[in-house]
Amino acid sequence: MDKIIIDGPCPLKGKVKVSGAKNSTLPIMAACLLSPSKFVLRNIPSVVDAHTMIKLLSALGAKTEWLSKDAISIDSTNVNKWKAPYQIVSKMRASICVLGPLMARFKKAEVSYPGGCVIGTRPIDLHLKGLTKLGAKIELKDGYVVAKAKKLNGASIYLAGVYGSTVLGTANILMASTLAKGETIIEGAACEPEVVDLGTFLIKMGAKIKGLGSPTITVTGVKKLHGAEHTIISDRIEAGTYLIGGIISRGEVEVEDINPKFLTVFIDKLIECGVEVKQTANSIKVKAKKNLKPIEITTLPYPGFPTDLQAQMTAFLTTIEGISFIHEKIYPDRFMHIAELLRMGARIMKQDSATIIQGGKLKGAPVMASDLRASAALVLAGLAAEGRTEVNRVYHIDRGYPKIDEKLASLGAKIRRVKA
Ligand code: EPU
């Protein structure tokens, strides 16, 4: 397995372009199953998860072809299977988002029940509740969610759970309801930009949707959808990660091709820390000033502080003198990065779903990547740490960050990937 070696500290300086959003790409690719048509998707990030979704679509009978390094055509005319196998779903939980489109198109679907992962148990009860409301009969058989319906009927569905709204749950019900009979009202819907991007794509396919970006989405079912072309929005989490790279290394970084509105709370928190932030309509630039201040953060569904930047922000706060506090409200167990940061000299105390961070200096060490965002946090920590940091098992990072080592090297990081 590859590892990434960083010789720190190395202040980053320069500009970096953000790729397409992984978390838009996956449900939008799945949405192509809704209609026996041809689609063109652009700004696809070259990450393992996107390739896994392509494998899944192919396994279901779709034809895919790369038109350029970041554009793909998907022809789902001949899709003739509705089973998402364990071998693929076990590699990528987001495979669950084929459930809604398959139900809408075939009125049947079998999707391997996604297991837990290192960031928590991650149930799918809300997805199933939503589909049941639309008229599906669902049973669990041999580890598979087996769903069937005579037809789908619009319904009023409250989709939030104990931890708030669900992103892929909203995506699944949004997709399923586009072809249901009558009106569906999703209350407690996720407001994430990636859900809006999916909805925008569905509208291009002929769906009738109102209220995207708000907690109440109304869908009026149509008889059929058609092919469409779409450019995926850029990845706010990738952007945030490079911005943290800039300030954790006490450098100066500008991310291009990102709408700052996707990161309002994140930017707010950086300013509270004392970071200098400059924004244009599609770029954000940060510069670490002296005397950065510790802060408190609570992760929340959008527009709150994103859980997907919690680990990276933790790494940053370990470098700021004083006591910072993070409360993780989406995934109460998403703290795999902490034990590894401790190996680098960080002082972090965890209690239930909260962490108390006493800032200081980091030292390089061999560390183990456990999940996508935890891996990114360790790489960022390596930029700030004195000496050599060796991040092992970096395949996690390749699931969501296109060429992270090359992008960081272009900003001046002393970083290299060692092939296993
Ligand atoms: N939840 C339930 N029941 C459900 C669904 C979710 O209780 O049926 C809970 C979850 O356990 C969690 C909370 O609700 O506590 C929110 O989970 P959500 O369903 O929103 O997560 P997701 O849709 O499975 C997406 C992203 C995640 C991101 C979360 C939260 C994709 C492919 N994944 O997951 O991204 O953390 O939303 O914003 O869109 C990542 O990119 O690293 C990543 C994990």
Co-location of 188 and 316 in the same domain:
no
Picking from 212, 231, 250, the residue at the C-terminal end of a domain is 231
Choose the residue to mutate in 19, 22, 23 for probing ligand 1, maximizing ligand atoms within 8 Å of C-beta: 23
Q: Indicate which CATH number applies to the domain containing 93.
A: 3.65.10.10
Co-location of 346 and 261 in the same domain:
yes
Ligand 1 pocket check for 130: Cβ under 6 Å: no
**For the chain, what percent of residues have pLDDT higher than 90?**
96
Q: What confidence tens digit (pLDDT) does each residue in 361-376 have?
A: 999 999 998 899 999 9
Co-location of 38 and 160 in the same domain:
yes
Predicted local confidence at residue 329, as pLDDT: 97
Residue 191 annotated as catalytic: no
Q: What confidence tens digit (pLDDT) does each residue in 337-355 have?
A: 999 999 999 999 999 999 9
Picking from 193, 216, 231, the residue at the C-terminal end of a domain is 231
Ligand 1 pocket check for 62: Cβ under 6 Å: no
CA of 192 to the centre of ligand 1 (A): 11
Picking from 210, 231, 252, the residue at the C-terminal end of a domain is 231
d(CA 196, CA 7): 40
Co-location of 15 and 28 in the same domain:
no
Q: What confidence tens digit (pLDDT) does each residue in 273-290 have?
A: 999 999 999 999 999 988
Select from 326, 319, 253 the least CA-distant residue to 292. Answer: 319
Q: Is pLDDT at 141 greater than 70 in this prediction?
A: yes
Co-location of 63 and 184 in the same domain:
yes
Q: What confidence tens digit (pLDDT) does each residue in 397-416 have?
A: 999 999 999 999 999 999 99
Q: Is pLDDT at 136 greater than 80 in this prediction?
A: yes
Q: Is pLDDT at 59 greater than 70 in this prediction?
A: yes
Alpha carbon dihedral 194, 199, 202, 206, in 10-degree steps, equals: -160
- Residue range 311-336: average pLDDT? 97
3-state SS assignment for residue 211: coil
Q: List all residues 6 or more positions away from 183 whose beta carbon is below 8 Å from its beta carbon.
A: 154, 218, 219, 220, 221
Counting the structural domains of the chain, the total is 2
Residue of the CA atom closest to atom 40 of ligand 1:
308
Q: What confidence tens digit (pLDDT) does each residue in 258-270 have?
A: 999 999 999 999 9
Contact 119, 370 (CB under 8 A): no
Which band of pLDDT confidence, cut at 50, 70 and 90, is reported for residue 301? very high
Co-location of 254 and 331 in the same domain:
yes
Q: Interior CA angle at 14 toward 10 and 15, to 5°? A: 130
Co-location of 209 and 247 in the same domain:
no
**For the chain, what percent of residues have pLDDT higher than 70?**
100
- What's the burial of 41, exposed, middle or buried (CB within 10 Å: 0-12/13-18/19+)? buried
Co-location of 276 and 145 in the same domain:
no
Contact 176, 104 (CB under 8 A): yes
Q: List all residues 6 or more positions away from 33 whose beta carbon is below 8 Å from its beta carbon.
A: 57, 60, 62, 76, 79, 98, 101, 102, 105
Which residue segment(s) compose the domain that 28 sits in? Answer: 22-231
Ligand 1 pocket check for 268: Cβ under 6 Å: no
User: For the chain, what is the mean pLDDT?
Assistant: 97
Which band of pLDDT confidence, cut at 50, 70 and 90, is reported for residue 118? confident
Co-location of 207 and 249 in the same domain:
no
Predicted local confidence at residue 122, as pLDDT: 86
Q: What is the pTM of this model?
A: 0.98
Co-location of 347 and 292 in the same domain:
yes
Co-location of 247 and 395 in the same domain:
yes
Ligand 1 pocket check for 372: Cβ under 6 Å: yes
Q: Is pLDDT at 116 greater than 80 in this prediction?
A: no
Choose the residue to mutate in 167, 266, 331, 399 for probing ligand 1, maximizing ligand atoms within 8 Å of C-beta: 167
Co-location of 224 and 324 in the same domain:
no
